[in-house]
Amino acid sequence: MQEQILNGTAAQSAREEEIRRIIQAGRDFIKMPPEAEEEENDAFPGYKTDQEQKKQQPPLYKRASGGRVTPLPSDYGSLALNNSILSVIFARKSSRIYTDEPITLLQLSFLLWATQGVKSIRGNNYATLRTVPCGGARHEFECYLAVRNVEGLVPGYYHYMPDRHALELLSEGCQDDDINASLCGQRWALKANVVMYYSVIPYRAEWRYGIYAHRTILIDAGHITENLYIACSASGLGTCAVAAVDTAVSDRMFALDGNEEYIFYAAPVGTVSPVSEKEEAEIYAFLKDEKGAASP
């Protein structure tokens, strides 16, 4: 009996130690590692990135794979946009309750341009300059879409091609089960007009930053969704960043290999109304019991 208790205690402390180790590894990942150039800190003497070794730069974008291509409109001047930066930033919030209204292709186009749109090319195809900032302008992300309710598009899975500002249809039909499982059971997303899924192609950043690339990738991802929030806020739509993404399920939806490219972030987008706001507040109703406030 005593032996069982001792064994149980040993197993418990081994587990706690393992958890502490994982947490420390996470903390260390966020820190900037010692600069390789500084001799005294150099953990990898003589380390050179692939760019420094003059290896070929990876492509800036993924090419179309043979699906039907829909060019996107770009006359954003005809959109009903709130142009007051003050009120757009003030109104920015996460929205998870959507109405059944469709969104137009122009609205969707605006969101894609605002989050990944290409403005110009730096050098001889060295980098793209886009509507969002990105470490070294590597723009290591791709955007995939589960389109449910967008005028002018058949429901299905799509890929955004920023160089052509166009969508490629990957497969027709949009499965609720896929969306639900890909977002770890967040069923509220099943009423979204479109779910944006962001993949990373790590080598685009690794080519330039090597072992230092991965921290920057996560920082860069935040810029994309913040622009999405701002663009939704300006155009009267709702979105919510989603980190609880099942990578394996999402990768299957868009036929990604899961290592050279994989989904790690998502954002459902939908139409919202003042009624949605009330329902949204209900999500945080549990706080009433705690502090007397039910506002998100």
Work out how close the CB of 96 gets to ligand FMN at its nearest, in angstroms, rounded to a whole number: 6
Which of 51, 70, 94, 99 lies at the binding interface for ligand FMN (CB under 6 A)? 94
Per rule CB under 6 A, is residue 244 in the interface with ligand FMN?
Answer: yes
- Residue among 62 and 214 whose Cβ is closer to ligand FMN: 214
Question: In Å, how far are 6, 11, 13 from 1, measured between CA atoms?
Answer: 9, 15, 19
50-89: which residues touch ligand FMN (CB under 6 A)? Answer: none
204 contacts 189 by C-beta, under 8 angstroms? no
166-225: which residues touch ligand FMN (CB under 6 A)? Answer: 186
Phi-psi region of 273 (alpha: psi -120 to 50; beta: other; left: phi over 0): beta
Which of 103, 150, 179, 240 lies at the binding interface for ligand FMN (CB under 6 A)? 240
Residue 180 burial (C-beta neighbours within 10 Å; 0-12, 13-18, 19+): middle
> Which of the ranges 59-67, 144-152, 168-176, 238-246 carries the binding residues for ligand FMN, by CB under 6 A?
238-246
Work out how close the CB of 244 gets to ligand FMN at its nearest, in angstroms, rounded to a whole number: 4
Per rule CB under 6 A, is residue 6 in the interface with ligand FMN?
Answer: no
Work out how close the CB of 124 gets to ligand FMN at its nearest, in angstroms, rounded to a whole number: 35
32-63: b or e for each residue (b if 16 or more CB lie within 10 Å)? eeeebeeeeeeeeeeeebbeeeeeebbebbbe
- Residue among 169 and 231 whose Cβ is closer to ligand FMN: 231
Residue 18: phi, psi to the nearest 5?
A: -60, -40
Span between the terminal Cα atoms of the chain, in Å = 50
- Residue among 96 and 191 whose Cβ is closer to ligand FMN: 96
Work out how close the CB of 240 gets to ligand FMN at its nearest, in angstroms, rounded to a whole number: 5
- Residue among 71 and 185 whose Cβ is closer to ligand FMN: 185
Which of 93, 214, 215, 223 lies at the binding interface for ligand FMN (CB under 6 A)? 93
Write the CB contacts of 279 (distance below 8 Å, at least 6 apart in sequence).
97
- Residue among 205 and 240 whose Cβ is closer to ligand FMN: 240
Instruction: Give, in degrees to the nearest 5, the angle at Cα 125 between 62 and 229.
Output: 60
Q: 224: closest CA among 244, 189, 250, 196?
A: 196
- The one-letter code for the residue type at 97 is I
Per rule CB under 6 A, is residue 269 in the interface with ligand FMN?
Answer: no
- Residue among 6 and 243 whose Cβ is closer to ligand FMN: 243
β-sheet bridge partners, residue 120: 129
Work out how close the CB of 75 gets to ligand FMN at its nearest, in angstroms, rounded to a whole number: 30
Q: Which residues bind ligand FMN (CB under 6 A)?
A: 93-94, 96, 186, 240-244, 296
